[in-house]
Every structure is written in C-alpha cells, then in structure tokens.
Structure 1
C-alpha cells in the first residue's frame, strides 16, 4: 500500500483529517503533561518523613489562664505519659513533621565569612527529650543528645542558644558536599553573626512541618532546648496497633494533670500526612479524570470520523473490491490512513507538549518533562488511534463487491 494515493485522497478533503490531527495533538500535549504532574504529585505525597508515622501522635493543649510553673507542668506531663501502658517514648516538641506549621531558621552557613547559603531556610525542632527515640528516627552518624547538652529557654526572659545540633543527611550533604563526616563541624544558624553550634549527629531523614517541594523538605535540624512555652505539644510513640487505646488514656491523664488548659486536638503523623497532601491527591484525581475524559473523547472522535468516511466511500470501496481488492487491502488502507493522520497529530502534539511543559516549569516549579513521557504518550496515541479505527475499518472491508453495481 503506497502513501501517495492515501495522502492525495486526504488532501482533497482536508477538514476531517485536520480536525482529527488537531485533536490528537491537543490530547497528547495535555495527557503527557498531566501524567507527569500526576506522577510528580503522587511521588511528593509518598515521600517518607523519617518518622514512625503510624505510631507517632501529637497532642496539643492551650492554656486558658496563666501557667505559673511551665517547667514543672512539662515534667509532670512527660512522667504521666510515660507511665501509660503502651507508650514507647514521649517528648515535648515545638513541631512535628508534616504538621504544616512550625519554626524555621535561615540562612544556615558553615563559616563566619559566608554570607549566602544553599540552605536558606531549615525546620528547627526543639526538645528537652530524645526526638530520635520519640519519632523513631534513624541516627546514621554521631550520637543523640546527652543530659549535659540540654538548655532551658524562657521566651519571656531570655534567648538562650544551644551549643550542639543534630542535622539531617540531606542538609549535611548540601552544606558540606563531599565530606565523609560532618561531626564536629560548626554551623551558624541564622547567619554568620550568630554564635556557632557544633554538629554532633546526623539522622537519615526528618521532614520539615511544611514538607516543601524538592530536597528542601529534608532541611531540618534538632536543638536540645526545653522551651518554656505554656502552649503545649507532646509527641508520643505507641506500641504498634495500640494507638487509639493508648492515646485516649494519654489524653485522660493529661487533662487530669491540669485544669488550666484546653485540648486543641490529637492526631497521628499519618493523619497529618493525609491533611498535608490532600491538595496533591485531589489534583492528581482531577488530572486522572481529565486524562481519561480526553482519551475517550479522542477515541470517539476517531471512531465517528472513520465511520463517516466509510459511509461516504461505500461505492468506492465496492468498486475496489469488484476489481480485485481483498478485505485485507481495504482494512490496511483505513489503518494506514489513520496512522498517517495520527502521526501528523503526534508531531504537532510533541511540540505543543514541550511548550506547555516550559510554561508549567516557569509557573509551578516543575522539573523538565522527561523524554520517556513523550515516548509513552506517543505510543499510547498510536495504539489508541489504531484501536479506534479498527471497527469502522473492519466494516469497510466487509462491504460486498455488488455495491459497485448499485446506483446512488
């Protein structure tokens, strides 16, 4: 089967092929970028936080009148929490991973002469206990805090600064690229004008409360600070499978400890993840629906147009059958015709997809579209086009030669 006769026939009636090619181009451009955004959003939403999310909960209280002894309240609360059966570890913390609100510090520099830093903002965790034990983090280098490392800071009276810090692996690699170990390195939190603190440990992962896009989500540090704030947030790790029972008891004993505060709420880190990434999942769902809808519309358009061509050329098909064309020849004709139209649409669609991706890169901070997605979408459009035209082409091949002897 030669391309020239098919192309000549299409050029005599350009409207229908052009419409199909345009539909294929638009579908490819949108579907290709939609699939990439879906993958990017779902991959972002599934990033591990570093914590034992299913078994770690936060419980928060707010004072409705002044707390006279904040330190004593924190110590009593922690002792009461740890006495609850099923509690593995507990700590006062100023924030939790994926919590969507918290403390940050920046820039983080490694030299008194350094004015700029690749880490412009880092999540800043405070605790007077072991966050590593409480969150279930993995310590990959160095040590956890020891009793002599902890300091107290009263926001109403002072701004005491810890002398040691634990950082994440990603943050260490960003600040000291190529270093085998960063233990003992000085780091300046908030710029070179502040006193340095010494890195004594590195954890594998600890996401920020905001779970930023890219590697910035792993820019976190831990300081051994008892922050004397009457607003109270405790992080509690429970035995697997006992979360609801244990946390209900923890809530009960904490409310019994003091009547000067109200419960703001409690949730697991898994629930915090669901809340943090609700928007990403909703966007992915909408894009999946749009992708399926576009593919169905494109397929139905090809089927409808091919069926129309078959009806318009029934006499032509019958004549060809009468002079010796086989069913396979007729079938091949329509399939090749569709392949040519689809290929033209794919060529235009690839250019349109790249242009759309450039726009999304500049507006949504997405990485460049990998060639793999263009290849997959191209194959999908070819297969979709061939499957969509197969039914009408099969009906065309079944037209009997006798049709050629009939009058219009």
Structure 2
C-alpha cells in the first residue's frame, strides 16, 4: 500500500487528524513526566530511614507536673530508662532529642572553614547520652561509636554546648569532603566566624534520615551528638523484638508509670506512623497523577476511536467501491491502521519534543532531575500501540462492510 494517497487524503481533511495528533502530543508530554514524578515520589516514600527495623521501633515522650532540679531530672531520666530496658522484648533504648521523619527537630549550619561567609550545609542534630547507633540500629561504616568520655553535660538554660566528637551520615560526609575517602578525623565548624566551635568526626553511619526527611540528598544530612540534656519531659527511642512492638509499648508504658510516684503524661508514637504522615502528601500526589494519566489515556483512545468511526461512516461508499473492485478485508483494515499510525507518529514526535521541554521547565522550577529518555520512548511506544488498538475495532467494521450495503443509496 502506498503512503502517498493516505497522506494526500489526510491533507485534504486536516482538522480532525491535527486535533488527534495534538491530543496525542499533549498526552505523551504530560504522561511521561507524570509517570516519572510518580516513580520519584514512590522511591522517596519507600527509601530506607537508616533504622534497622522501623516496624519494631517506637518512641515516647514522658512528662509530669513535678518540679525537679537538674540533678533530679538526670536521675529521673536514668530511672525511666532503666524501667524501659527491664521490659522483656526491648532490644535497645536510648534518650533522644528527635526522630527521623517526625517533622520536628533541630538543624544546625556547619562549615569547613571559619573564614567562609556562608555555611556549607544544614544538618539535623540527634542528641543522646546513650548509643543511638544501637538505639536506632544504624549501620556503622567507619570509625567507632561514642563512649562515656565523649558525652558532655548540657545546661538547658544556656546555649548549646558543642561536643568534640560527632558521628555523621555517609551522605553528609561525602558532601563535606567530596575528594576524600576516609572521613575519620576530619573536622568542621559550627557556623562561621572566629568564634565558631570545631568538632571532629569519629564515626560514619550508612544513613539516617533527618527529622524533615527532605526529598533531596539533604534528607540524609544527619549527625549524632553525645549530649546529655536534663529535662522534665525526656524522650526515648525503643526498639522491640520483631513482632513484639504493640505488646512492648503496653508493658513499657506500665513500667514507667510504676517507676514514678507522680502521675505521668506519656505520648507514644511509632516510626511507621511518622513515615505515613511525612510521605502522605507524596502518596496523594502519586494517586492523583495515576488517575490523571489513566484519564488521559482513555480520552486519547476515545478520540482515536471517534475519529476513525467518523471516517468509516463518511467513506462507506468509497469502501464499497474498493471492495467491489477486489480489495480484501485486510487491505481496508491496513488502510485505516496505516492512516492512524501516521497521525499517531505525528503526535508522538511532537509529544516527545514537548515532553523534554516540559521537563526542562520542571527541572528549573521544581528542582527535579532530567527526564530519562526511557520514559519518553516507553510513552511513544505506548501511544503508537494505543493508536493501533483504538483504531482496530472501527477499522475492522469498515473492512466487514459488503460492497452492496456500502454503495446502497440512503
């Protein structure tokens, strides 16, 4: 079959093919970028936090109306921690200042040189007098965990004391020292200026999401600080044995109430719940884009079916004449399929260019990464197949028209 007669026929009736091609182009541009964003958001929502077992990890903030001195607050924290660790099924427990993905916590600016005019990065600060490497179940890649000599005492009514030694995540270390492979012993400063305090890296953990859990690499800019801060409302992270979390929560709450003669207010939350809340918007966006993409496919398919059906009804006599002159069903079918392929190719080529342009806009405005070509290619193949599939039924009906019926006057 020659392509030229088909193209000539399309040029004589430009409007309908042009509208379908534009529809395919817009759908391809939107769909490829939407699916890419869906994939990015799903990956972000399911990325590991760094905790060994999120399903078994929970934390609780314990407070009372009792007025205590700093010494009494420290003693109270130790008593509560002892009560927590005495519960069967508790793998580890430690006091902690904040939790990953909780959307509540402290960050600090750090720099490599006091002479810098701006800090290098912002990092999330996890403070504890115990071992958060064990408490969180973090994977220590290099160096060591803190020991008792590293822990400093913090007065809650004064400025934050800066520990000499810290543990950082691998992502933070790589950003601070991109040309280094060994980060142990490296130093940085808390802020800039001549009064900026210095700390040294003694350990590197594989990962630990920040309390904000940003989507970018900054979502793993975290550091552990060996600081004991007296407080009347301490928070503890507890890791239970697999499958025992709910029982352990109940027994830990009972144990800490028993350990204190004053009434306590206990606020318990699981890491799973924090993840669900933190990434709730991402998953809502995912479902919205999936629905929009599905509707685009249905609308595009409907447009192709409608256009092909219209052309079949307009060409009934032409089809009948061709059938009377010896054209086979396969010839009629091939004609309409080829016609739709040409229109689909026009839309796919335009849509591919439009998809790349739309992605460039998203990269500049939303800080997305560049759209991989595989998404554009897959989308192009999808819409070509969609064009053929949507045109097949009306094309087959056209091929099934008998010459007598097609040429009969109405």
Interval containing the TM-score (normalised by the shorter chain): over 0.9
| Other-structure match for 2:24 | 24
Q: How many residues align?
A: 405
1:102 aligns with 2:139: no
* Alpha-carbon separation, structure 2, partners of 1:338 and 1:182: 60
Q: Is contact 1:58-1:236 (8 Å) kept?
A: yes
Alignment of 1:56-95 (within 5 A): 56-68=57-69, 69-95=72-98
Residues 128-169 of structure 1, C-alpha deviations (whole Å, 9 max, x = no match) = 000000100000101000111111101214543211000111
Change (3 A) 1:158 1:391: closer
Q: Is contact 2:119-2:191 (8 Å) kept?
A: no
Which secondary structure does the structure 1 equivalent of 2:203 belong to?
A: strand
Alignment of 1:35-74 (within 5 A): 35-51=35-51, 52-68=53-69, 69-74=72-77
* Alpha-carbon separation, structure 2, partners of 1:165 and 1:260: 36
Residues 320-371 of structure 1, C-alpha deviations (whole Å, 9 max, x = no match) = 1111211111111000100111111122222322232223223322112111
Residues 174-203 of structure 1, C-alpha deviations (whole Å, 9 max, x = no match) = 111232211111221223532211111110
Q: Is contact 2:85-2:93 (8 Å) kept?
A: yes
Structure 1 runs of 4+ with >4 Å offset? none
Question: Which ranges in structure 1 are unaligned for 5 or more consecutive residues?
Answer: none
How far 1:21 sits from its partner (Å)? 1.1
* Alpha-carbon separation, structure 1, partners of 2:228 and 2:220: 23
* Alpha-carbon separation, structure 1, partners of 2:159 and 2:321: 97
Residues 59-106 of structure 1, C-alpha deviations (whole Å, 9 max, x = no match) = 113444533321111111111101111111111100011111101101
Change (3 A) 1:304 1:158: closer
How far 1:229 sits from its partner (Å)? 2.5
Q: Which moved more, 1:235-244 or 1:149-158?
A: 149-158
TM-score of the superposed pair, with normalisation by structure 1? 0.95
Residues 285-307 of structure 1, C-alpha deviations (whole Å, 9 max, x = no match) = 11111111110111112112211
| Other-structure match for 1:332 | 334
Q: Which moved more, 1:335-344 or 1:159-168?
A: 159-168
Which secondary structure does the structure 2 equivalent of 1:99 belong to?
A: coil
The alignment's C-alpha RMSD in Å is 1.6
TM-score of the superposed pair, with normalisation by structure 2? 0.95
Q: Which moved more, 1:55-64 or 1:312-321?
A: 55-64
Q: Is contact 2:257-2:263 (8 Å) kept?
A: no
| Other-structure match for 2:176 | 175
| Other-structure match for 1:196 | 198
* Alpha-carbon separation, structure 2, partners of 1:375 and 1:77: 59
Q: Is contact 1:319-1:403 (8 Å) kept?
A: no
* Alpha-carbon separation, structure 2, partners of 1:368 and 1:379: 20
Q: Is contact 1:57-1:235 (8 Å) kept?
A: yes
